[in-house]
Structure 1
């Protein structure tokens, strides 16, 4: 009985054990089925880790992001097949199907695409993000768009960006880029490098140069060629903290890098500018990997170009090119890039055309839009600024000769726990040598009434003390010897004209602008990023040092005929005794070495900055930042002018010791150099709140206060030590508010951005003379304030798979809150006074900018038609007249001849319309150099006067053949 009981208990326990064991097996089996883990790694085509990529199990809420080494893991997955969706900004989203469990790590490669890159923002933000998530006003010109354009300059690429006004009418260099109504410049001379004062032109995230002004404009060293991958254009407040000394905007030209496989592009471009003047250009770029792992790549590219220009003076207006290269090594969590550039290029700029009718501007009778008055390239000569100085050669055919040698090193590294560090360093040596002729005014014959400027009053012992010059003046064509003009003076004010047949009854009076600038420059930017949860913190420092040797002056004054490709005028005076005095060089120059200024200075710039981006809930993102700027100009200056003449040399006949060669008699005395130290400190701030309505829509509001130190032209402006002592300028201050609504879908996007911008501390100083003291002086600075209210609209509509329309519209109302300036009156300081005007106009700033570009693209061909409209703008601050509105139509057609060969045909300015972009008043020199002084009453008193106009460039044709090796 007991035995049976024991057996029964044992059986029961055995059964229970089996049940427990079976249950445990089932649980283990279930856990194996429902708690699997999947591990993987996200990489790019160069096997580099992609950090922060999104990895989502399709059809579920399960997801994660890749870590510092690109690795990720997904837990609690069911056994079987799952589909993963992997995405990252700038890369095409990839879906992969994998089995769970996997014995090895899943490797997923993402590929960059142009379409994805269009959505990516790297400029104007401290962290890379999609455009829909970025609270900045930014537009991108992609590689696809770049292939269809035929820009006249690097700046010209920006002309269809909303809120941006580009004046590229002068040629390939010396352009203007202004943003949201910031002041522009009425170029009378040929130095417009301050046309980039409020913005930063960048290459791969660093400014082209620390400096603007004084012939050191960034576009002298910036070229768009085969190296260019895309352009990112930021307008508005975020630039105050993400860029150095650039409150108006950032324009970043991003370069190509090599890929894992060898690729090359050869481009030949031939065309005609101004209808018939030939243009030739060749680009070559190639790159690939250098090792088996394909984690070391290279890219080399450059161009050579020669063109006669739209207005041909008899010698090439653009001649030269550049080479750029980079070497990239990627490694776990980062990369290092070594890059370099060599540029050697000569560039000319276009001058004014004679115009009539202020209300409806027309080229004066007898002239056409392809005429040029830049002067003969034969006018070469040697001159000196002062008697014991070196001899300098002036050669107009050398134009603006720009050179740059640059080398840089960029480093990026991501660490565990959310840390990332990057540093970008470059050293460059830049130089610009100017040999430019530009028109100061147009004179007319009738010497009895007006006199040829500066001829009868030429500096010489005969005229310095009021002694009448007696004799016969003869004006000849220096190239042909034909005599155009002859007049005899028998006593002061008594003339007798025997010959008067100058072409078009007039002559050109101009200057030979001689500038010699050398810059050694270091730029370095360090950034440290820290990811804390979903917040990103950025700490950074920017350092720039520019050592500048800056010589500026006038090689002399020149006279030439008033006609297309003018001939120099040879002027001489024959005394009654038969002695001949040569007033000009054989090629029309006189008063050689008339002005000189020399500055040796160092510009030091140090910025420290901080930025934070943090989500607030699921919909809001807050970003804000500060930037502290320290700018210093320290150096020595010496300046000479006609108030410091070398009288002994003058009476001795100049530095050639011949009193009968009058053109070299004027010589200057070297002054005692003076030193200066100008320091500017400022703090900028910007903050924005972005609200993401959904994945396709968002709005943001941004408030910014940015400051800007004076440029180098303001530092080198003082002509005497005394004026230098009080010509200290306050930093310019920009206050900006912008609100934006963004819609972005697969077939449509729209960005609407109302803005308000106020610019204060706009300094003005007059350069005046005191004939009693026989000196020149600068008046103390006075300040103005202006504001601009407007709205920007940018849209891109994909109407069908092949048909697309892109458009931009800017409406703005720029006004001066108040404008202060000096009225220097008569020579001397006694009657100098400050005038203040309220609600003055902002000159040359259009109220309407509009462009629309429909395009049609297939696998075989593409075509587009771009129409751009620029509204009317005030001619000067006091509304003497309005510059007429103008438009331009550009056409492009591309055809893929084979898989590797592509042809593009472009017509710029199809209808050959000319818009006036700059002007000078009638009346000749010196009135021509003072457009701000021209009044409405003067215009009404002489409505048929001939005045000078700088215009957009005439029609041009280009054919481009590209061959891709891959």
Structure 2
């Protein structure tokens, strides 16, 4: 790796020291673009993270937490996940976070990290789930969870901890196993999600409560498949089920589970298996973390990690559906039988045995000095990916539950075509060295300020190929181009609130992050833009706290420039013609949110949130199939302009009854805004029973209103201008889970 350019690092700590100090808000300041989970608007919100039940409720699957909407497109990897103050993966591709992390009893606690604190501590925009490994305990403890569903899901989760010696050494060990068939039958495998995570380690507690050191190992083995639904699209954004395919209950995976690829490294042809090693990720993780309380009152906190992963991923992405008759000459590949009817075009992507190495460390000191709670820290992140490549192929399949492979005029005898016409490759390393500081400042009984600053050096080194991806592309055809960049980033925040009266006041906040290119930006032959992407967010509002309710209402403005995305476009004039296009664009979001927690009588509380927002594309232009397209000022895909959450709960004696309703107004399903999905509700409900201090039981119902329908984007429809031509057509998309009953038993001794 090239020698680091350190000129921006000199004097960084000095700059932090002279910044105007800040915060300790009396209430949670909420961004208008935040799809808030069921959390009370607390009167003391100086904490950087919150316990948050609903962020872990995912309406799509059980494999990870939900995305928290901020008015920008969600990443493929979803919400950022931290463990012991470090990201569980450096970047979500090729290793998704849910392949190495799951909510578990082997985590001591889990909370939602606020946007301002993620910006200040990581330099990133958005929210994060922060979790901490269950370390060794001075007394023997065993805790566990058993969960299942009426579809056959089983999750077993166990952690044991206790003392080892009399001089402060303790241990902790845990096992998490998940066997989830989801709500449909793949045909080629019993499970859609099969994941195992094992942790073990030791903790040494220092005398006089001076601190601790933890040394932990984690092993993860996971494969996860992602299903799609086939539906008939109609007026008013309605998605209707078709005969022979039940949304959420049927599989749109190729029946055999095998897809033929050409390896871009060796040039050899092979079959990738959805249920095998070609779709399984393994990782080894060593964490050393803890703290030490120094004699001068400063608390030194540290967390380091070595993460080694071998990433394999296999995806089938639906592109379009068209109809054929006998004259078109399609046959079923396995039998040679002539086929007439609906045909689905699929894009398959496979990355095999991609080694990644991540080394990270965070070191900070913290102290309460009069009215200031001050933190200074250093964060180092090194990441290496060895010759990332993604093989691609296209194929046709029947449109039914567990589709069959078809042979057509465009395919070879095996039923595949277009090998590596959009293949990806890059190689190299990234290094981020950051210094940061923050302060919670109680200026007076009425005025609180919180602020922080991060300065980061980001180095990107490696190589990629600018060679066009023609059919049959391999690295033997590639001419490699060096990647050598050094970027400097600033991120920070300032939040303030002022009590006009004892219970009523005003608040304001500003958040700012920067980023440039990353290795993943170089995966296609198109040289990416590395213009600095800036993301300022500003908000102002009011808060009001009484005995019976707490309220925050705030307006927010957010922009982000130089956004990058890649589309697998389908030619509107020819459903069999596809093109991968890289687009750089900006996004602007204006909005207003009101968040309220109501407690009218003992045992009952109601959380209510409503968000009104208008996220739009800016400078969104590109060329495809010989035409120029301009989608500036179109509403951003998959993001509702109206979001609402209603979360009632009631506790009496040992029982707790709760529900969670999430409303999403219409969501555009193609970038031209011609197609959209009708408004929908996601809903959960449950009962918890605390048998005694050690044992509890729970029952949760997902989608208890038994809604059906699709959500997300309509694959292959990005360039459609006239929605009416799609009425009555068969399309594909993602969906919410059908009615599901889940039971759990918890114990803690």
TM-score normalized by the length of structure 2? 0.83
- Higher helix fraction (1 or 2): 1
Check whether the contact 1:873–1:882 (CA below 8 A) recurs between aligned residues: yes
1:892 aligns with 2:686: yes
1:944 to 707, 728, 739: 728
**Residue in 2 aligned with 1:284?**
158
Q: Deviations over 1:290-335 (max 9, x none)?
A: 3446x44433223111122222211121112101234333323322
**Residue in 2 aligned with 1:873?**
667
**Residue in 2 aligned with 1:245?**
123
> 5+ unaligned residues in a row in structure 2: which ranges?
1-23, 30-40, 571-577
Measure, in 2, the Cα distance between the counterparts of 1:253 and 1:640: 43
1:140 to 51, 54, 57: 51
Matches within 5 A, 1:64-463: 132-134=43-45, 139-141=50-52, 145=53, 157=56, 169=60, 172=63, 177-184=67-74, 192-193=76-77, 195-196=78-79, 200-212=80-92, 214-242=93-121, 244-272=122-150, 277-292=151-166, 295-314=168-187, 315=189, 316-331=191-206, 332=208, 333-366=210-243, 367-369=245-247, 370-379=249-258, 383-385=262-264, 389=267, 392-398=270-276, 400-446=279-325, 448=327, 451=328
**Residue in 1 aligned with 2:413?**
584
Quote how far apart the aligned CAs of 1:239 are: 2.9
Measure, in 2, the Cα distance between the counterparts of 1:730 and 1:713: 15
1:814 to 608, 615, 618: 615
1:797 to 581, 596, 599: 599
Check whether the contact 2:315–2:350 (CA below 8 A) recurs between aligned residues: yes
Structure (1 or 2) with the larger CA radius of gyration: 1
Quote how far apart the aligned CAs of 1:429 are: 0.9
1:708 to 515, 520, 530: 515
**Residue in 1 aligned with 2:537?**
736
Q: Secondary structure at the match of 2:306?
A: strand
Measure, in 2, the Cα distance between the counterparts of 1:340 and 1:179: 33
Check whether the contact 2:72–2:587 (CA below 8 A) recurs between aligned residues: no
1:882 aligns with 2:719: no
Check whether the contact 2:431–2:458 (CA below 8 A) recurs between aligned residues: yes
Measure, in 2, the Cα distance between the counterparts of 1:858 and 1:531: 39
Measure, in 1, the Cα distance between the counterparts of 2:219 and 2:472: 42
Measure, in 2, the Cα distance between the counterparts of 1:899 and 1:687: 42
Quote how far apart the aligned CAs of 1:526 are: 1.5
Check whether the contact 1:644–1:669 (CA below 8 A) recurs between aligned residues: no
1:675 aligns with 2:529: no
Quote how far apart the aligned CAs of 1:413 are: 1.9
Measure, in 2, the Cα distance between the counterparts of 1:413 and 1:622: 28
C-alpha distance 874-393 of structure 1, shift in aligned 2 (>3 A) = closer
Matches within 5 A, 1:630-645: 630-638=457-465, 643=470
Measure, in 2, the Cα distance between the counterparts of 1:797 and 1:258: 38
Quote how far apart the aligned CAs of 1:909 are: 0.7
C-alpha distance 427-368 of structure 1, shift in aligned 2 (>3 A) = same
**Residue in 2 aligned with 1:615?**
442
Check whether the contact 1:384–1:592 (CA below 8 A) recurs between aligned residues: no
Quote how far apart the aligned CAs of 1:768 are: 10
Check whether the contact 1:180–1:812 (CA below 8 A) recurs between aligned residues: no
Q: Deviations over 1:574-630 (max 9, x none)?
A: xxxxxxxx9332xx4455555543322101111111223333244323332221122
Check whether the contact 1:792–1:811 (CA below 8 A) recurs between aligned residues: no
Q: Deviations over 1:734-792 (max 9, x none)?
A: 111233555667875444443222223335688999xxxxxx99999754341222214
Check whether the contact 1:302–1:323 (CA below 8 A) recurs between aligned residues: yes
**Residue in 2 aligned with 1:905?**
699
**Residue in 2 aligned with 1:515?**
351
Measure, in 2, the Cα distance between the counterparts of 1:266 and 1:176: 23
Check whether the contact 2:285–2:306 (CA below 8 A) recurs between aligned residues: yes
Measure, in 2, the Cα distance between the counterparts of 1:847 and 1:413: 47
Q: Secondary structure at the match of 1:177?
A: coil
> 5+ unaligned residues in a row in structure 1: which ranges?
1-88, 90-117, 120-129, 150-155, 160-167, 186-191, 452-472, 486-501, 574-581, 647-666, 770-775, 827-831, 921-927
Measure, in 2, the Cα distance between the counterparts of 1:567 and 1:836: 38
Matches within 5 A, 1:647-662: none
1:563 aligns with 2:563: no
Check whether the contact 1:385–1:594 (CA below 8 A) recurs between aligned residues: no
C-alpha distance 443-377 of structure 1, shift in aligned 2 (>3 A) = same
Check whether the contact 1:766–1:778 (CA below 8 A) recurs between aligned residues: yes
Quote how far apart the aligned CAs of 1:278 are: 1.8
**Residue in 2 aligned with 1:28?**
none
2:718 to 912, 932, 940: 932
Quote how far apart the aligned CAs of 1:258 are: 4.3
Q: Secondary structure at the match of 2:639?
A: coil
Check whether the contact 1:135–1:690 (CA below 8 A) recurs between aligned residues: no
Measure, in 2, the Cα distance between the counterparts of 1:133 and 1:942: 52
C-alpha distance 645-511 of structure 1, shift in aligned 2 (>3 A) = closer
Measure, in 2, the Cα distance between the counterparts of 1:939 and 1:744: 47
Quote how far apart the aligned CAs of 1:427 are: 0.9
Quote how far apart the aligned CAs of 1:363 are: 2.6
C-alpha distance 292-553 of structure 1, shift in aligned 2 (>3 A) = closer
Quote how far apart the aligned CAs of 1:561 are: 1.8
Check whether the contact 2:631–2:671 (CA below 8 A) recurs between aligned residues: no
Quote how far apart the aligned CAs of 1:544 are: 0.3
Q: Deviations over 1:707-757 (max 9, x none)?
A: 13345432323x2xxx43xx3322321111233555667875444443222
**Which structure's relative contact order is higher, taking Cα pairs within 8 Å and 6+ residues apart?**
2
**Residue in 2 aligned with 1:579?**
none
Measure, in 1, the Cα distance between the counterparts of 2:538 and 2:710: 31
C-alpha distance 911-598 of structure 1, shift in aligned 2 (>3 A) = same
C-alpha distance 797-846 of structure 1, shift in aligned 2 (>3 A) = same
Check whether the contact 1:888–1:910 (CA below 8 A) recurs between aligned residues: no
Measure, in 2, the Cα distance between the counterparts of 1:822 and 1:687: 37
C-alpha distance 813-328 of structure 1, shift in aligned 2 (>3 A) = same
Measure, in 1, the Cα distance between the counterparts of 2:287 and 2:679: 44
**Residue in 1 aligned with 2:379?**
542
**Residue in 1 aligned with 2:33?**
none
Measure, in 1, the Cα distance between the counterparts of 2:315 and 2:569: 25
Measure, in 1, the Cα distance between the counterparts of 2:744 and 2:170: 28
C-alpha distance 202-743 of structure 1, shift in aligned 2 (>3 A) = farther
C-alpha distance 807-321 of structure 1, shift in aligned 2 (>3 A) = farther
1:483 to 328, 337, 351: 337
Measure, in 2, the Cα distance between the counterparts of 1:278 and 1:779: 41
Check whether the contact 1:597–1:640 (CA below 8 A) recurs between aligned residues: no
Check whether the contact 1:641–1:668 (CA below 8 A) recurs between aligned residues: no
Check whether the contact 1:374–1:438 (CA below 8 A) recurs between aligned residues: no
Measure, in 1, the Cα distance between the counterparts of 2:666 and 2:644: 12
Check whether the contact 2:421–2:470 (CA below 8 A) recurs between aligned residues: no
Measure, in 1, the Cα distance between the counterparts of 2:422 and 2:616: 36
